């Protein structure tokens, strides 16, 4: 059974700091990995999608890497801003014999202090 773990569970940093969020998964037979952002009480906003054949993806101040063989992904946020405060979730897409599903980590709650 696929398990996804995110470290740390919570992180508080001053504005302007660069930071790294970690995600690990137990089964490397994934199709892709997505990083999401969730604001309190809201839905999920997709930040980056990394296909299983890719090593990294970049969007603005965000960079995500994937090492499928070791079961790890990192999300790097450069020059953090108070507006980046949210919960960040990673999820891996599995294709099972009966269909597909996303398996999520518990999330990292990020607070960026002005």
Please state, in angstroms and as integers, the Cα–Cα distance from residue 100 to each residue in 2, 60, 77, 81, 89, following that order.
Answer: 13, 29, 29, 35, 18
Q: How far is the CB of 30 from another protein (least distance, A)?
A: 9
| Residue number with CB closer to another protein (85 or 87) | 87
Structure tokens at 11: 């992180």
40: Cα separation from own chain's centroid: 17
Interface residues with another protein (CB under 8 A)? Answer: 31-32, 34, 36, 41-46, 49, 51-52, 89, 91, 93, 95-96, 98-107
Q: How far is the CB of 28 from another protein (least distance, A)?
A: 15
Q: How far is the CB of 106 from another protein (least distance, A)?
A: 5
| Residue number with CB closer to another protein (80 or 107) | 107
Q: How far is the CB of 15 from another protein (least distance, A)?
A: 28
Query: Can you tell me the distance from the alpha carbon of 51 to that of 30, in angstroms, rounded to the nearest whole number?
Result: 9
**H/E element holding 95?**
strand 86-96
- Is 114 in contact with 47 (CB distance < 8 Å)? no
| Residue number with CB closer to another protein (16 or 31) | 31
């Amino acid at each position: 059974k696929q398990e996804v773990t995110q470290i740390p569970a919570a992180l508080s940093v001053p504005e302007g700091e660069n930071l790294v969020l970690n995600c690990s998964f137990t089964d490397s037979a994934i199709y892709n990995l997505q990083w999401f952002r969730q604001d309190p009480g809201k839905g999920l906003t997709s930040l980056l999608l990394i296909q299983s054949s890719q090593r990294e993806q970049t969007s603005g101040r965000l960079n995500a890497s994937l090492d499928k063989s070791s079961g790890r992904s990192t999300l790097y946020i450069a020059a953090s801003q108070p507006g980046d405060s949210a919960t960040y979730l990673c999820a891996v897409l599995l294709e099972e014999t009966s269909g597909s599903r996303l398996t999520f980590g518990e999330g990292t709650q990020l607070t960026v202090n002005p």
